Structure 1
């Protein structure tokens, strides 16, 4: 029994041959073509694409927030809110002279830790490689994780960063936005934290609204937590 899974986008030829197209695929001659973004599954004599809604598709150079799931002797595995797992090589953290025996990975990052990372390499055939070897990247020591739809991230940033700057200035919060829809909010006051989280959720739920900036501004300027 064969069960090959791979990430596909509309127009991708998944395979050729005598397969029965089932879900989100069409038959063109002897080619089976995806009609959706998702994971293709070949199963016995049939083929289907399981659509991905709201899941993050990695792109090289994207800034992402990852959560450490586990590690081997050579790398950490990060949950990046995707159908893919992010791999962070130990060498990236310990340096070039890293020794798998001498350096204990969990001394630097352990399960549950949040990391700001960048997608270093990704080609859809294997899980992406991530790096923290850059300024402002690495372990996130404090803050609250907020999740939004990946498609709403540009709206949260706003044109030239206007929306996120407005939220940060009004709440005195420091906000790190991952392109994967995970956002870390740090704030010294509970009120500021609540308002910043509320503003982010407003953007997530009302991204289609024309006067969204005004509505968020009004909420931020209102007194109390209402």
Structure 2
């Protein structure tokens, strides 16, 4: 029986056979069906689906911000705010002549480092492959990490980039937005940094509000602490 975790949507058959349905699944005949979007888990004799609210589902070409968790001799593992782990191959960083014996991975990236990367390959059955071989990708040396819900990212960017441009212009901050809901903000002025972070958090909390742009603008234009 294949008990590997897999991504499921409502109506997907998780498994068949004599299992006990636990969370977010129901029994239909001899089939156990998922009732939510999530990751299915089968252990011992029971089946459950862990819901994916607030977690990022990778899509090819997405820009993500990842945090290095660990590495093997051939790749780094990145936390990308997902139920999946991002794999960054060492060859991607060291180049084609990479040698697993001679090149020490931690000389380039170590645990805790932040990286701007793209999802290079992903197909629900295994963890995604990420790349940093484009321009503007790679290790992030400066800036503060702000975490928002991945579903709020489009609101933070705004129509044709209007929201994020407004925040950057008002604060002189440089903001990198990962589709996975992780945002890096860097700014030379401490006040600008504070305001930019506050604006991002405002969007995260009030994404549903109709006049959000005006509210953010008002906060950005206010002097000192409001």
TM-score under structure 2 normalisation?
A: 0.96
| Cα deviation code 1:167-192 (max 9, x no counterpart) | 00000000000011100000010010
> How far is 1:44 from its partner?
2.7
Structure 2: unaligned runs, 5 residues or longer: none
Determine if contact 1:173/1:185 at 8 Å carries over to the other structure: yes
Q: Do the aligned partners of residues 179 and 15 (structure 1) sit closer, same or farther apart at CA in structure 2, a change above 3 Å counting?
A: same
| Cα deviation code 1:21-69 (max 9, x no counterpart) | 2221122332222111122121333211121221111111110000111
1:57 counterpart SS class? coil
Aligned length: 226
2:145 counterpart SS class? strand
> How far is 1:125 from its partner?
1.3
> How far is 1:2 from its partner?
8.3
Looking at structure 1, the residues matched to 3 and 44 of structure 2 have their Cα atoms a distance apart, in angstroms, of 7
Looking at structure 2, the residues matched to 96 and 56 of structure 1 have their Cα atoms a distance apart, in angstroms, of 31
| Cα deviation code 1:114-143 (max 9, x no counterpart) | 100001111111111100011110011100
Residue 203 of structure 1 pairs with residue 203 of structure 2 = yes
> How far is 1:3 from its partner?
5.1
Determine if contact 1:2/1:43 at 8 Å carries over to the other structure: no
1:41 counterpart SS class? strand
Looking at structure 2, the residues matched to 42 and 75 of structure 1 have their Cα atoms a distance apart, in angstroms, of 28
- What is the Cα-based RMSD across aligned positions, in Å? 1.4
In the TM superposition, structure 1's runs of 4+ consecutive aligned residues that sit over 6 Å from their partners are none
Looking at structure 2, the residues matched to 18 and 163 of structure 1 have their Cα atoms a distance apart, in angstroms, of 52
Determine if contact 1:194/1:225 at 8 Å carries over to the other structure: no
Looking at structure 1, the residues matched to 81 and 92 of structure 2 have their Cα atoms a distance apart, in angstroms, of 21
2:112 counterpart SS class? coil
